Amino acid sequence: MKNSYDVIVVGGGPSGSMAAKMAAEGGVSVCMLEKDRDIGYPVRCGEAVGELGLKQFVEIKDSWIAASITHFGLVAPDETRVEAKFTNQKGFILHRRLFDYDLAQEAANAGAEVFTKSYVNGLLIENGFVRGVTLDYLGEPRTIRAKIVIGADGVESRVGRWAGIRTQVKMKDIETCVQYSVANIDLDINRIVFYVGRCYAPGGYLWVFPKGERSANIGLGIAGHLAKEKSPKKYLDEFLQREYPGASILTTMCGGVPCAKPMEKPVADGILLVGDAAHHVNAMTGGGIISGMKAGWIGGQVAATAVHSGDSSAKFLQTYVQKVRKDFGDTHNRFYRMKNTIINLTDDDLNAIARQISRIPENERTLTRIFKACVFKKPSLIVDVIKVFAGI
């Protein structure tokens, strides 16, 4: 580990690895610091991604794919089930342990130096500019200087806060999640299933994502302000007991997802934030792998350009903010507004929507038609739904 790099990336998740790779490919020296012992572990994720999203950045490896998803099911509070087929792409449930590891390897192959057991505990700030980080590396205190720091330190990000960036998320916009990896269950390996409604997960949803012939990630997220009334774990235990009484729980994980608007200003002098650290999550689904990778992709490129031009000011880094806004930020703002409408649907509304959708012949149940059925129940969604589908 050297004492100085052009770019330091804090966090070795998908956003961090993407940022490190792109910065290194931009011809600057890069180091990526991960606090855990292994890249990719522990996994705190349902591990679902869309094929098209992933293909933008990487050649998909078979070893990453636990299950290929062609169908999805939606279960309403009154147990009305809606089944549909993905029409224009398939989805995957990943082995994130392997996926994250390989992404970090790609960053390393591009020239980034990767260090694990490197816990960043502060920023070096000179005249208001971030100029590096302080860390605990294998138990030893270290200081590393940099022209730009990229904060990719996830939902619990502190790097942004240390730089004076407003990082707070309202309680109602944090999904409090719990997930079990379970075995010994019967399920369709090509189908993901969502359970919606207050009885399953108030202010969120419950998911069953297949991970193998007889195993799955089963988890749920509850809006933070509702999680005090009854814990997410209690909801999940009740569900498991009811639906999969013979399941063995192999792993338990808890975590938060920032289902908020993307941060408006994820930059300050000498620093930019990517991924969960900048709230780059689709607030409707809680999915953040692809948008985090996209932010890392853009952020790494902009960081390299900033180093070459000798300007790492917040003003220069505004290019990053604009590019993210144009790429997915505006759409994520719409998802956020849609989430706020959907979250207020009553169980009766959800039952009515499910029944409406189940009237559409199964082979005609495209996402667009499903959204149309939602809009029928909640006309206030219409403008955002149209804009999302029109890509504007």
Note the residues at the interface with ligand FAD (CB under 6 A): 10-16, 33-36, 44-49, 118-120, 152-154, 177, 179, 219, 255, 257, 275-277, 281, 286-289, 292
Using the minimum distance from each CB to ligand FAD, give the nearer residue, 44 or 387. Answer: 44
Beta bridge partners of 48: 93
The bridge status of strand 191-196 relative to strand 205-212 is antiparallel
Residue nearest to ligand FAD (CB): 288
Q: Compute the least distance from the CB of residue 11 to ligand FAD, in Å.
A: 3
Using the minimum distance from each CB to ligand FAD, give the nearer residue, 46 or 197. Answer: 46
Residue 151 three-state SS: strand
- Of 141, 130, 110, 122, the closest CA to residue 31 belongs to 110
Using the minimum distance from each CB to ligand FAD, give the nearer residue, 82 or 295. Answer: 295
Q: Compute the least distance from the CB of residue 177 to ligand FAD, in Å.
A: 4
Q: Compute the least distance from the CB of residue 16 to ligand FAD, in Å.
A: 5
Neighbours of 118 (CB within 10 A): 22
Using the minimum distance from each CB to ligand FAD, give the nearer residue, 32 or 185. Answer: 32
Using the minimum distance from each CB to ligand FAD, give the nearer residue, 75 or 218. Answer: 218
- Of 187, 231, 184, the closest CA to residue 207 belongs to 187
Q: Compute the least distance from the CB of residue 315 to ligand FAD, in Å.
A: 25
Q: Compute the least distance from the CB of residue 164 to ligand FAD, in Å.
A: 17
Using the minimum distance from each CB to ligand FAD, give the nearer residue, 225 or 378. Answer: 225
- Of 60, 47, 71, the closest CA to residue 189 belongs to 71
**CA end-to-end span of the chain, whole Å?**
45
Q: Compute the least distance from the CB of residue 149 to ligand FAD, in Å.
A: 11
Give the list of residues 6+ apart from residue 111 with CB closer than 8 angstroms, or none.
24, 25, 29, 30
Query: In sequence order, what E strands does the chain have?
Result: 4-10, 30-33, 48-50, 65-69, 71-75, 81-85, 91-94, 113-115, 118-126, 129-137, 140-151, 174-183, 191-196, 205-212, 215-223, 248-258, 267-268, 271-273
